[in-house]
Amino acid sequence: MLKTTTAIVTLAALAGLTGAAQAEIRLGASLSATGGAAFLGDPEAKTIEMLVEQMNEAGGIDGEEIALTLYDDGGDPNKARTFATRLVEDDEVVAIIGGSTTGTTMSILSVAESEGIPFISLAGAISIIDPVRDYVFKTPHTDRMACEKIFTDMQAQGITKVGMISGTDGFGASMQAQCKEVAGDYGVEIVADETYGPQDADMTPQLTRIRNTDGVQAVLNPGFGQGPAIVTRNVAQLGFDVPLYQSHGVASNAFIELAGADAAEGVRLPGTALLIADSLSEDDPQYDVVTSYTTAYRDAYGQETSTFGGYAHDAFALMVDAMKRSSDPEDPQAIRDALEETNGLVGTTGTYSFSPEDHLGLDLSAFRMLEVKDGGWQPVE
């Protein structure tokens, strides 16, 4: 069990130097910094810690510094629920960011809703914000939107028959269901439908059945973690001659490294501007925020940014913006109300505009269809 209290320690040190306690705004987070979802939670945790430090060095919010309490739930929904309760009851936070996965998010949101604490999730399932819950928002595109973006691309290429292989984890199962629901709207038929478990190390049997299905013109793999990398390698080993589409759940350079650049060549998925940060034009609406975040993260950690760290960046930006606009940055209800009034906030993932009917605030234009070329991500022209 990891609890990060860097910002709180810093505040205590400052209080000791000044001889008086300094006002603070208590922000909580529960992320999967270790465990099977660490590829999500580690960059998210690093991003939030970096941004809190930057914010405090710049004077905080109206002179009040942010005191961050961050727990590592290891991807365990039960731990996430425990930590969410602790954040509210013991740490007395006024807002929560977290939920690296759909499973941990659902645990946290139940606490946030019952306690009246604004919560911004970093997970993808549409069920997080549909139906709309009073205190729950999120930054990633939904799995339904990912299906729609993928099918739009397929439609443009005349692809009508698809073989789908999905992870049975919360994200994979949710996206599988969403893709089935919207496929017909784009003239796409799912002619093969296979699944795999989170611990499976070889998907050759399922992919062989897909390859032997008459008429398959493309393969679609809803999933996250190591599964999609294994699917990608198996597809290459089996010599598939049809396009392979992955989900935004693996939109990172780590996916290419895990799958292998040769195997991943040609893979398409819907992603964010962060994956093509170095090739964005200066007149791109997201250029400034993406460039600023990318540079700061590289300087702080000596690592490249990821889509998932970007989700945390945007959640923090949204929360700080709401706190600044609220009638009281230490009042959870005032923060929630200000969040819902967010309009036109540019993040690394897209431009957010919330409303009482929409706690995601993104549309399909925020997605960019990307393709692996020569070991890196390139926009599909």
How would residue 170 be classed by pLDDT, with cut points 50, 70 and 90? confident
- Nearest-angstrom CA–CA distance, 1 and 274: 31
Residue 8 has what pLDDT?
34
User: Mean of the pLDDT values across residues 241-248?
Assistant: 96
The structure's pTM equals 0.88
How would residue 17 be classed by pLDDT, with cut points 50, 70 and 90? very low
Residue 18 has what pLDDT?
39
Residue 381 has what pLDDT?
76
CA gyration radius, the chain: 21
Per residue in 19-44, pLDDT (tens digit) is 334 579 999 999 999 998 999 999 99
Residue 374 corresponds to which amino acid? D
| Kind plus residue range of the DSSP H or E element containing 343 | strand 343-346
Per residue in 87-144, pLDDT (tens digit) is 999 999 999 999 999 999 999 999 999 999 999 999 988 899 999 999 999 999 999 9
The DSSP annotation for 214-281 comes to TT--EEEE---TTHHHHHHHHHHHTT--S-EEE-GGG-SHHHHHHH-HHHHTT-EEEE-GGGGGGG--
User: Mean of the pLDDT values across residues 195-214?
Assistant: 97
How would residue 340 be classed by pLDDT, with cut points 50, 70 and 90? very high
Q: How far apart are the first and last CA of the chain?
A: 45
pLDDT at 5 over 80: no
Per residue in 272-319, pLDDT (tens digit) is 999 999 889 999 999 999 999 999 999 999 999 999 999 999 999 999
| Nearest alpha-carbon partner for 143 in 255, 250, 36 | 250
Share of the chain above pLDDT 70, in %: 94
Instruction: Copy the structure tokens of residue 183.
Output: 């496929």
Q: How far does Cα 5 stand from its chain's mean position?
A: 23
Per residue in 148-163, pLDDT (tens digit) is 999 999 999 999 999 9
Residue 2 has what pLDDT?
47
Long-range CB contacts for residues 107-114, cutoff 8 Å, separation at least 24: 107/77, 107/78, 107/80, 107/81, 108/30, 108/80, 108/81, 108/83, 108/84, 109/133, 109/135, 109/136, 110/81, 111/81, 111/84, 111/85, 112/84, 112/136
User: Mean of the pLDDT values across residues 327-347?
Assistant: 97
Residue reference for tokens 């946290």 = 108
User: Mean of the pLDDT values across residues 237-266?
Assistant: 95
What does DSSP assign to residue 25?
A: E
- Phi first, then psi, for residue 204 (nearest 5°) are -60, -45
Query: What is the number of residues in the chain?
Result: 381
Residue 22 has what pLDDT?
58
How would residue 15 be classed by pLDDT, with cut points 50, 70 and 90? very low
User: Mean of the pLDDT values across residues 350-367?
Assistant: 96
Residue 13 has what pLDDT?
35
pLDDT at 16 over 60: no
| Nearest alpha-carbon partner for 247 in 159, 315, 149, 156 | 149
Residue 183 has what pLDDT?
98
Residue 124 has what pLDDT?
87
pLDDT at 56 over 90: yes
| Nearest alpha-carbon partner for 245 in 268, 211, 216 | 268
How would residue 1 be classed by pLDDT, with cut points 50, 70 and 90? very low
What domains can be seen in the chain, in order of their start residue?
2-142+285-366 (3.40.50.2300), 143-271+367-379 (3.40.50.2300)
